[in-house]
Amino acid sequence: MHSTPERLVGAWFAANGRDLPWRKTRDPYEILVSEVMLQQTQVARVLPRYLAWLERWPTAQSLAATPLPDVLREWQGLGYNRRAVNLHRAAQQVAEDGWPNDLTELPGVGRYTADALACFAFRRDVLPIDVNIRRVLERSGMQFGAESAQALMDLGATVCLARLPRCAECPVADLCPSRGRRYEPLRKQGPFEGSFRQRRARALRAALAGDDPGDPEAVAALRRDGLLST
């Protein structure tokens, strides 16, 4: 039988896929927590925090009933605290009105996160395209359905890497027009040390601990973003 790209990637995933807790649930809240945490944060760093979060707040209702400062304290160390604010607001909306048909109506939920929820929680036939999946699709020129989503994520994260793809390990290398190519490094974000982002993070930690942040500019920015009450 002819092996299609979907079958090849699926077989590779069965043998090499990462064992991640959010892949063992269809609960939309649990999947939303994972997707929000994974935005700009590495999987290894998210894993223990995800499990601890769900132990503390196992449902959208339990998170929604929690004061925002407590949520922000639990979020410390994951970075980009605005994500925690949006997750809290989304939980409040779900607790009050349920899950909307258009998932982008939830605070902080853009096209990719909505598609990930639709695919993994609600089993809709949509392929959520994150940076890893986009890389595989663009380089290979191949088309895949929603059933290949997790496999493509892992393929992009562990084999079809941004700069130096491991083509020798790729299940569709023989069909890929980009096999053997190397790529220029992507533009990196500016250093955190000494940045205004660091000042904001330091001010937020101090405020949540009940201390004087001592940085009016950072505090003003935090208040504008809803991270601190006025």
Q: Which two tokens stand for residue 14?
A: 């069965």
| Closest by Cα among 160, 176, 127, 138 to 16 | 160
Structure tokens at 90: 């989304």
Nearest by Cα to 68 from 83, 58, 78, 54: 83
Give burial (CB, 10 Å; 0-12/13-18/19+) of 72: buried
Selecting among 6, 30, 35, 147, the annotated active-site residue is 35
Catalytic residue at 105?
Answer: no
Residue 25 CA to residue 80 CA, distance in Å, equals: 26
Instruction: Report, as residue numbers or ranges, the catalytic residues.
Output: 35
